[in-house]
C-alpha cells in the first residue's frame, strides 16, 4: 500500500529544547523517503520514529544553518554503515558547497558510494523523483536558502460503473488504459475518457527559514500539505524580520492565499513552550480556516486524502 505521510523528527529552531529536537522531517511518499533538514540528533529521532536509513532516497537541505544540517554527518555515516544499496540524492544550496563537503566528510568512516550530489542554484530546479517531480526555489534568509516542493502528475481514475456498463473487464481495462480506446466485440469503440475521470495529482511543500517572498507563495500554491516555519508569534515580528523568519500569522496568510489543504507549523523558537501552541493556531485562524497542525516531535501527519471533488469556479 502506498504511504504518504510526514514523520516529524524535530521541531525546534536554533537549539534543541527539553521537548523539541532540532529540525528533521521525513516525507514518506509511496516508495520514496525525502529527509528534509536533518538537524542534530536526527539519527536517534529516526530510531524513535521507526525510520531506517534504508527508507531514505533523498536528503534535501534548505540551508546551512546548524539546525538544518548538523545531522547530515550522522545520517550519511549511518547509510554507509547499514550498507544502503540504493542511491540517495542529496540536494542543497550550491553556495554552501564548502559546508556540504565538511558535513559529508566530517569524520573518518567507511564511506559509501550511494550519495549523489544535487547542488541547487538559480531560480528554479526540477528533478524527477520516483512518482513525483521535486522542485527547489530560492527563499529569503540571511544566507542562501531553498524551499522544496513535490508534485505528482495528474492522472485519471477508472470508473468501475462505466466500465461495467460498457462491458469492459479483465485485461481489456489495461488495454484501454494503454491505448486510450478499445474496440469491443460488437464492433463499437469505447474511449478512456468515457470510462474514467481526471485525478488531480497530490503535492506537498517544505518551506523553512525565510521572510515572505515570491518563492514561498510559488512553493505553497495549492499544495495538499504545507510544512512551514513559524519561528515566532506576531509579538516578535521585528525579530522575525531582522533574522529572516516567519510569524505564525504570516504562515497562516500564506496558507490562506495559496489554498493549502493542510498546514503544519514548525521550527519554533526556544522561547515558546507547549502551552503557547494555541496562540500559534489563533494567529493562523486570523486568515486561514483549513486544517492546521502545530507539529511536535515524532508526530505522523498524513498527506490529506486526494481531493476528487470537482473544483469550484474561482
Ligand atoms: Zn533554522
Ligand atoms: Zn536559518
Task: Write out the DSSP string of 208-228.
Answer: -S--S-HHHHHHHTT-SEEEE
Residue ranges of the binding site for Zn(2+): 63, 65, 67-68, 141, 209, 267
Average pLDDT, the chain: 95
pLDDT value for 1: 55
pLDDT value for 306: 83
Q: What is the mean pLDDT of residues 104-115?
A: 98
* Whether residue 67 lies in the annotated active site: yes
Q: How far apart, in Å, are the Cα atoms of 136 and each of 61, 64, 140, 159, 247?
A: 10, 15, 13, 35, 22
CA of 312 to the centre of ligand 2 (A): 38
Proportion of the chain above pLDDT 90, given as a percent: 94
Q: In whole angstroms, what separates CA 88 from the centre of its chain? A: 16
Proportion of the chain above pLDDT 70, given as a percent: 97
- Measured from the alpha carbon of residue 37, the closest ligand is 1
- Model pLDDT for residues 274-307, shown as the tens digit of each residue: 999 999 999 999 999 999 999 999 999 999 998 7
Alpha-carbon gap, residue 78 to 110, rounded angstroms: 10
Alpha-carbon gap, residue 278 to 146, rounded angstroms: 29
pLDDT at 32 over 70: yes
CA of 10 to the centre of ligand 1 (A): 11
Structural contact between residues 242 and 275, judged by C-beta atoms closer than 8 angstroms: no
Q: How far apart, in Å, are the Cα atoms of 70 and each of 39, 48, 205?
A: 5, 18, 22
Q: List the catalytic residue out of 30, 37, 55, 67.
A: 67
CA of 63 to the centre of ligand 2 (A): 7
CA of 215 to the centre of ligand 1 (A): 17
- Measured from the alpha carbon of residue 244, the closest ligand is 2
- Measured from the alpha carbon of residue 210, the closest ligand is 2
CA of 142 to the centre of ligand 1 (A): 11
The model carries a pTM of 0.92
Amino acid at each position: 500500500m502506498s504511504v504518504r505521510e510526514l514523520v516529524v523528527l524535530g521541531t525546534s529552531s536554533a537549539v534543541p529544547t527539553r521537548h523539541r529536537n532540532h529540525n528533521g522531517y521525513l516525507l514518506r511518499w509511496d516508495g520514496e523517503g525525502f529527509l528534509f533538514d536533518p538537524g542534530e540528533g536526527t539519527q536517534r529521532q529516526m530510531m524513535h520514529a521507526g525510520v531506517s536509513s534504508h527508507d531514505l532516497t533523498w536528503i534535501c537541505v534548505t540551508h546551512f544553518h546548524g539546525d538544518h544540517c548538523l545531522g547530515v554527518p550522522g545520517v550519511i555515516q549511518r547509510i554507509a554503515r547499514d550498507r544502503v544499496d540504493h542511491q540517495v540524492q542529496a540536494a542543497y544550496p550550491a553556495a554552501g558547497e564548502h559546508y556540504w563537503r565538511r558535513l559529508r566528510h566530517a569524520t573518518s568512516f567507511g564511506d559509501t558510494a550511494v550519495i549523489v550530489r544535487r547542488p541547487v542554484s538559480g531560480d528554479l530546479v526540477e528533478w524527477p523523483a520516483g512518482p513525483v517531480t521535486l522542485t527547489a526555489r530560492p527563499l529569503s534568509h540571511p544566507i542562501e536558502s531553498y524551499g522544496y516542493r513535490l508534485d505528482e502528475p495528474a492522472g485519471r481514475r477508472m470508473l468501475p460503473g462505466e466500465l461495467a456498463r460498457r462491458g469492459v473487464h479483465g485485461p481489456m481495462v489495461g488495454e484501454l488504459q494503454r491505448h486510450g480506446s478499445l474496440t469491443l466485440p460488437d464492433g463499437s469503440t469505447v474511449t478512456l475518457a468515457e470510462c474514467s475521470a481526471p485525478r488531480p495529482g497530490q503535492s506537498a511543500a517544505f518551506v523553512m527559514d525565510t521572510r515572505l517572498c515570491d518563492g514561498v507563495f510559488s512553493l505553497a500554491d495549492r499544495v495538499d500539505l504545507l510544512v512551514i516555519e513559524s519561528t515566532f508569534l506576531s509579538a516578535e515580528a521585528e525579530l522575525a524580520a531582522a533574522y529572516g523568519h516567519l510569524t505564525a500569522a504570516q504562515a497562516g496568510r500564506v496558507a490562506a492565499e495559496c489554498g493549502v489543504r493542510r498546514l503544519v507549523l514548525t521550527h519554533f523558537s526556544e522561547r515558546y513552550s507547549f502551552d503557547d501552541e494555541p496562540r500559534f493556531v489563533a494567529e493562523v485562524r486570523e486568515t486561514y480556516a483549513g486544517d492546521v497542525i502545530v507539529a511536535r516531535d515524532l508526530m505522523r501527519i498524513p498527506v490529506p486524502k486526494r481531493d476528487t471533488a470537482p473544483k469550484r469556479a474561482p
